[in-house]
Chain A
Amino acid sequence: MSNFFSDIGMLFSRYNSFFLEGIRNTIIIALFAVLIGTVFGVLMAMMRMSKIWPLKAIATVYIEFIRGTPLMVQLMFIFYGLPMLGITFPEVSFIPNFSRFAAGIVAMSINSCAYVAEVIRSGIQAVDGGQMEAARSIGYSHTQAMLYVVLPQAIRNILPALGNEFITVIKESSIVSVIGIADLMFRTNDVIAVTYRTLPSLAIAAVIYFCMTFAGSRLIAFTERKMSHGKQ
């Protein structure tokens, strides 16, 4: 057992650059995935709630399909499948491995978008319908009622759930290691391959993932408390 802990100390002091690079790439992927996923998720949520049925149909199929298939399959499809259809991500000279990163971020974003869309839709629908009706009854347009009455209330439901989505993405992003992106999981495997210290290496990875998600969930709890002001 003392061996285990001394191994951890040794691994971390000798290979910390591996872990740090992994952390950096994991955060980059997760951040981009959630940002892009949120932008398109808002769009997708609006489409899903739209009265124009083709938009609604597209959004519904997209959301249900993405949520109903494994992220692994989606990632493989983007990384291996698209090039077979002649669609490739370009390389960018000053960013090493750009096409891999692009594929990883695109896959994660496509996935995240569907979940974010649902988060937003359910956040809006959780606001009592009487709020919209009251606003419409005194002359607000639908858009005004949305912007000034419904959305400010929906944000309280949406932001914490978005934070949770970010935490989920941090954990799930470990999957991009299978397409060769040097995220935390990938670099942990490197360390294992070099040192054969499987258990201590994985323990380090687990603790790092936990620190990232725990910091995230504390931050969510904090903003939630800040926002509870003025709530019923």
Chain B
Amino acid sequence: MENNEFLRVVDLHKSFNKLEVLKGINTSFSRNEVVSVIGPSGGGKSTFLRCLNLLEVPTSGQIIFDGVDICDKKQNINLHRQKIGMVFQQFNLFNNMNVMKNLTDAPVRIKKMPKEEACEKALALLNKVGLADRADAYPYQLSGGQKQRIAIVRSLMMEPEVMLFDEPTSALDPEMIGEVLEVMKQLADEGMTMIVVTHEMRFAREVSSRTMFLAGGHIEEDKPSHELFANPESPRLQEFLAKVL
């Protein structure tokens, strides 16, 4: 387990002006692990996730990724971000590009992958998520579920070492949630390291190996998922689970 650990968070603090949102987070993630992050609204889940790829700059603390502290100003964050995929609640596909371009632009432009290779790779991945026929569509022509599956593929194109998901199904109509969760489950089965902020308790319990309860800027509880759901210890978690289950 120890040498498998490749992402470690040390005493992470984040404040917006006077508001302290993260009050000292300590945790670590190992390869192939699927971790769910649950907790009440405003508890800092998104902020925590966004700190991991420095979309939010932590106020203090360290984020050790592949042995280096990426908060260090001397680090080229653009390089690290290529290895940390992120999937947003609002999909955020590039509206000015069709699906194929959405998928291939970054690998070709940033990683200098040959164009043909990128297209082949994109098609293979699109096939996997059942959207090979939508390669020429623009984002506005797609349903929410399709957009999110493509957003996941866009991250995968960069061959990330870890994928961050921020409530990937929260903006979806109920009938589309399943198709996105299915893709995520498939990814988990293939051994992708995933950190998933979610309100889908079934996903947390059944797919993720570990679940973390984040409330009030602290990790209140962090255990194997089945244990956390079977024996919640902190009263706050018990109260939270009583409300959402």
A residues with CB within 8 A of B = 128, 130-131, 133-141, 144, 148-149, 152-153, 230-232
Contact = CB atoms under 8 A, between A and B. Distances in A.
A69 B109 CA distance: 46
A32 B71 CA distance: 48
Contacts of B105: 148
A231 B53 contact: no
Q: Is chain A's interface secondary structure helix, strand, loop, or mixed overall?
A: helix
Contact of A138 (B138, B139, B154): B154
Given A138-B154, A230-B96, A232-B140, A133 B81 contact: no
B79 interface: yes
Interface stretch (B59-67, B84-92, B125-133, B214-222): B84-92
A124 to B, nearest CB: 13
A130 B73 CA distance: 24
Contacts of B106: 135, 138-140
Interface of B: 53, 55, 78-79, 81-82, 84-86, 88, 90, 92-98, 105-106, 109-110, 138-140, 151, 154-155, 158
Nearest to A230: B138
6 contacts: A134-B93, A136-B78, A137-B84, A137-B86, A149-B96, A232-B95
B55 A136 contact: yes
Contacts of A128: 90, 92, 95
Contacts of A138: 81-82, 85-86, 106, 110, 154-155, 158
B158 A139 contact: yes
Given A149-B96, A153-B96, A231-B95, A134 B78 contact: no
Query: What 9 pairs across the A-B complex have the smallest Cβ distances?
Result: A232-B140, A134-B92, A139-B82, A130-B92, A137-B86, A152-B96, A139-B81, A138-B106, A153-B96
Nearest to A149: B94
A139 B95 contact: no
B95 A131 contact: yes
A142 to B, nearest CB: 9
A131 B55 contact: no
Nearest to A141: B78
Contacts of A140: 78, 106, 109-110
Given A128-B92, A128-B95, A232-B138, 4 more contacts: A138-B110, A141-B78, A231-B140, A232-B95
B96 to A, nearest CB: 4
Contacts of A136: 55, 78, 81
A139 to B, nearest CB: 4
